[in-house]
Structure 1
Amino acid sequence: MTKVCIFTYSYMHRHHTMVNFHIDNMFDGNSCACVIDEREFKSVERPRLVRDEIRRGLYDAVVGPVIKVSNKLRKLPAYSIFGSERKAILDFLDREKPDVILCEFGCIGVDVAEAIGDRGLPIFTYYRGYDATMRVRSKRQRNLTHRAFRKMTGVFFVSDYLRRNLAHYGLEHPNSHVFPSGVNTDRFTPSTKKKLSFIAVGRLIEKKRPDLTVEAFCKEAKGFPDATLNVLGGGPMLEACREIVRREGMENQVTLHTEQPHENVLKYLREAEFFLQHSVTSPGGDAEGAPTSIQEALACGCTVIATRHAGIPDLIEEGKTGFLVDEMDLDGYRALIRSALSGEINAPEVAAAARDFAVANLDNRRLIKRVEAVLESAVRT
């Protein structure tokens, strides 16, 4: 059976559910992992190399500054995989004998391809958002990506928007595939919906603009005392959201839960009628890929109200499985929330269509088989 080595940031990062799913399930668990650090959270045990634990020697101390200067002159990122780290990675691969490498996140993929792309193993990378938007605005990162693409066997994207964004910078790979991360549609299922219940899920960060969601709901829901908004997630914009709720006097209708265990998120999603998210491109260029929270909301039969941002339109058929407005169209966003509150939106009908779409297109067990097929085709070549 094919064996995959997955390169990623952490073993395991609690928020990188899609990466953990690959480590756990790809090729029926026939996987190993090469990671930068190790976290306390682990859903499964696999053979792994932790790069932060590799001992560096005198060679690294001497050669490191030379590589840094050389990369600067070539307009590449300051450091790359070299010396003791490269040797440890190659030793790990020799020991585990994977047939193919899958790098989760493009930034890791280009580093790995640059460092060991000449070793005969097929190398693929998966772009998921930040790596294909904000990072590629750097000329150095574009230069490295251009070099690395020549050494990669193939590239995956969670949305066609990310593929197009790289192409805009002249970064294209002939073996490219668009597969969203997906969701387990047997686990994420609708429950009895609470009337006029709204939910927002995700990190409270600039590209998700939770403050706009909270303010829009507060302004529109004052005349609907039974309407509720549950915001699940922590982050730097939490206090700004709290201040809006206090200012609007909506403490009885809006609850900021901060970060929650996945089981709690699932419970609220299953019961919510409407899912809100006003994603935007941040001033620095950071954008979404295909937000997992929206995929989970669709599977749970929520009516999604969001923005025409990045890969979100790939997930929503407007007027059928959800509703979208342009980024920063606050009047339009509030109007949709008002329509939801007043019953103008046929939530049960939209919820059924959303659920059907998720089952047909977003089941992660089907999607992982499609990824495996691409990887296996490279192994057989």
Structure 2
Amino acid sequence: MKVLHFKTTYLNPSETFIDGLVRNHKTFEPVITTCYAKSFVKDLNIYEMPKYGLQGFWNTVQIKLNMTPSFLFDVVKDEQPDIIHGHFGLDSYRLIRLRNKAGLPLIVNFYGHDVTRLPREFGWKQRYKRLRKNMDWAVAVSNDMKRNLVKLGFDKNKISVVKLAVDVENIEFNQRHSSGPRLMMVGRCVEKKGFIYALRALTEIRKVIPDITLDLYGDGELLPQLKSYVKDAGLSDCVTFHGFTDNIDIFKALQNHDILLVPSVQAKDGDREGLPQTTVEGMATGIPVIASNHAGLPELVINEETGLQVPTRNSDALKRAVIRLYKDADLVKKVSLGGRLMVEKEHNLNSQIKKTEDLYRQLV
């Protein structure tokens, strides 16, 4: 049996969770379709939208109008898939005509901003109403996201929770027995990541831990503002901005730092996390995590068991949590092991792929 995956851009560098699913199917053969091939495309059966001539022009117009691009009908005719798996709400909306004309079940996988921010944008409440009527099942990455989908009108009986997965068996676990002064954060420099609250905490943390350092891995629209804050706050000697960093180097950093900070918040435009992939990967390596009680994070970071949980937008709580781990070796050992066990149990790649393919079979 075959599954046709679609994402308008395949893939952004941070979307390793989609690549992990596609490359590790067990009983379904993946057929990848995209308008713009970008990353993680090597050795895949992938079809890209025509770029030139009349076909290229017409397919581009269709995408701009959020219609099904015509090349997908040819792919379905050639490959004869059994089911369609759309990634993100916007991209999946573009599959409605394909689903109806081909008579194939459509699964829509939601990930974060497509549940919280996109529905606030002009026209998307109505589009989601149409999507609800012309899809067969929804997938959320956390129970928190499922609740938000229900609030948007999606049928709670047609939503499965399939968590972001990692190939935990191939991630080296290094249980930590104490905490040093090396902090890190990973992600795009956007409001929902909450990086500013960690930077604000740093001034107070260094009064207790003079040699504290913080490495921030990521690029984005707020990077200049964050750099300006660090300079004005006199933190330039202990904060390093690394910009965009590939996944291999992120894993090295996770092994070489003492604490991963995840101070996520809901942005003013409604954007919020689904579940940050790096948090799952970090816990698999054994690095202790301090995360805000935001979105799906509390389902992963259970306070004093798999990490430390702090209120959102609370720099003082972040400060206290960092100092607590620095001083409490027993707690470090506990959450380091607890985090790894949580990932092995709830985010194992093989088990999440099995859930996904069981759902495919149910719908086929």
SS at match of 2:35: strand
Q: Could you tell which deviates more after superposition, 167-176 or 320-329?
A: 167-176
- What is the aligned partner in structure 1 of residue 234 from structure 2? 249
Counterpart amino acid of 1:238? L
- What is the aligned partner in structure 1 of residue 67 from structure 2? 81
SS at match of 2:242: strand
Task: Return closer, same or farther for 1:169/1:51 CA change in 2, 3 Å cut-off.
Answer: farther
- What is the aligned partner in structure 2 of residue 46 from structure 1? 45
Unmatched runs of 5 consecutive residues or more in structure 1: 68-76
Q: Could you tell which deviates more after superposition, 129-138 or 7-16?
A: 7-16
SS at match of 1:117: helix
SS at match of 1:174: helix
Q: Is the 8 A contact 2:37 2:48 kept in 1?
A: no
- Aligned counterpart in structure 2 of residue 238 of structure 1, from 217, 223, 227: 223
Aligned pairs for 1:345-356 (under 5 A) are 346-356=331-341
SS at match of 1:26: coil
Task: Return closer, same or farther for 1:378/1:59 CA change in 2, 3 Å cut-off.
Answer: closer
Alignment of 1:340 with 2:325, yes or no, is yes
Asked which structure has the greater RCO (Cα within 8 Å, sep 6+), the reply is 2
> 1:60 offset after TM fit, Å?
8.7
Task: Return closer, same or farther for 1:53/1:339 CA change in 2, 3 Å cut-off.
Answer: farther
Task: Return closer, same or farther for 1:52/1:180 CA change in 2, 3 Å cut-off.
Answer: farther
1-structure distance, mates of 2:337, 2:276: 20
- What is the aligned partner in structure 2 of residue 176 from structure 1? 159
- What is the aligned partner in structure 1 of residue 8 from structure 2? 9
Counterpart amino acid of 1:308? N
Aligned pairs for 1:319-330 (under 5 A) are 319-330=304-315
Unmatched runs of 5 consecutive residues or more in structure 2: none
Task: Return closer, same or farther for 1:118/1:337 CA change in 2, 3 Å cut-off.
Answer: same
Task: Return closer, same or farther for 1:148/1:117 CA change in 2, 3 Å cut-off.
Answer: farther
Q: Is the 8 A contact 1:134 1:286 kept in 2?
A: yes
Task: Return closer, same or farther for 1:207/1:224 CA change in 2, 3 Å cut-off.
Answer: same
Aligned pairs for 1:154-169 (under 5 A) are 154-169=137-152
1-structure distance, mates of 2:45, 2:58: 31
Alignment of 1:101 with 2:84, yes or no, is yes
- What is the aligned partner in structure 2 of residue 126 from structure 1? 109
- What is the aligned partner in structure 1 of residue 249 from structure 2? 264
Counterpart amino acid of 2:37? E
Identity of aligned residues (%): 23
1-structure distance, mates of 2:29, 2:207: 54
Q: Could you tell which deviates more after superposition, 256-265 or 182-191?
A: 182-191
Q: Could you tell which deviates more after superposition, 118-127 or 215-224?
A: 215-224
1-structure distance, mates of 2:349, 2:186: 19
1-structure distance, mates of 2:170, 2:209: 32
Residues 152-197 of structure 1 show CA distances to partners (whole Å, capped at 9, x for unaligned) of 1211001111221121132325321001111111233333757232
Structure 1 stretches of at least 4 aligned residues deviating more than 4 Å after TM superposition:
51-54, 56-61
- What is the aligned partner in structure 1 of residue 263 from structure 2? 278
SS at match of 1:211: helix
Q: Is the 8 A contact 2:304 2:331 kept in 1?
A: no
Q: Is the 8 A contact 1:118 1:151 kept in 2?
A: no
Counterpart amino acid of 1:45? L
2-structure distance, mates of 1:240, 1:342: 32
> 1:42 offset after TM fit, Å?
3.0
> 1:133 offset after TM fit, Å?
0.7
Q: Is the 8 A contact 1:301 1:351 kept in 2?
A: yes
- What is the aligned partner in structure 2 of residue 310 from structure 1? 295
Q: Is the 8 A contact 1:117 1:152 kept in 2?
A: no
Counterpart amino acid of 1:369? K
Task: Return closer, same or farther for 1:259/1:138 CA change in 2, 3 Å cut-off.
Answer: closer
Counterpart amino acid of 1:243? S
CA-atom RMSD in angstroms = 2.6
1-structure distance, mates of 2:171, 2:235: 29
SS at match of 1:280: coil
SS at match of 1:189: coil
Q: Could you tell which deviates more after superposition, 250-259 or 312-321?
A: 250-259
SS at match of 1:163: helix
2-structure distance, mates of 1:273, 1:345: 14
1-structure distance, mates of 2:122, 2:246: 39
Residues 189-211 of structure 1 show CA distances to partners (whole Å, capped at 9, x for unaligned) of 33375723221111111110212
2-structure distance, mates of 1:114, 1:277: 39
Aligned pairs for 1:164-243 (under 5 A) are 164-172=147-155, 174-191=157-174, 195-243=180-228
Q: Could you tell which deviates more after superposition, 263-272 or 331-340?
A: 331-340
Aligned pairs for 1:146-157 (under 5 A) are 146-157=129-140
Aligned residues: 362
Counterpart amino acid of 1:102? H
1-structure distance, mates of 2:296, 2:53: 37
2-structure distance, mates of 1:11, 1:236: 22
Q: Is the 8 A contact 1:154 1:173 kept in 2?
A: no
> 1:90 offset after TM fit, Å?
1.0
Task: Return closer, same or farther for 1:106/1:51 CA change in 2, 3 Å cut-off.
Answer: farther
2-structure distance, mates of 1:132, 1:179: 15
2-structure distance, mates of 1:59, 1:335: 57
- What is the aligned partner in structure 2 of residue 116 from structure 1? 99
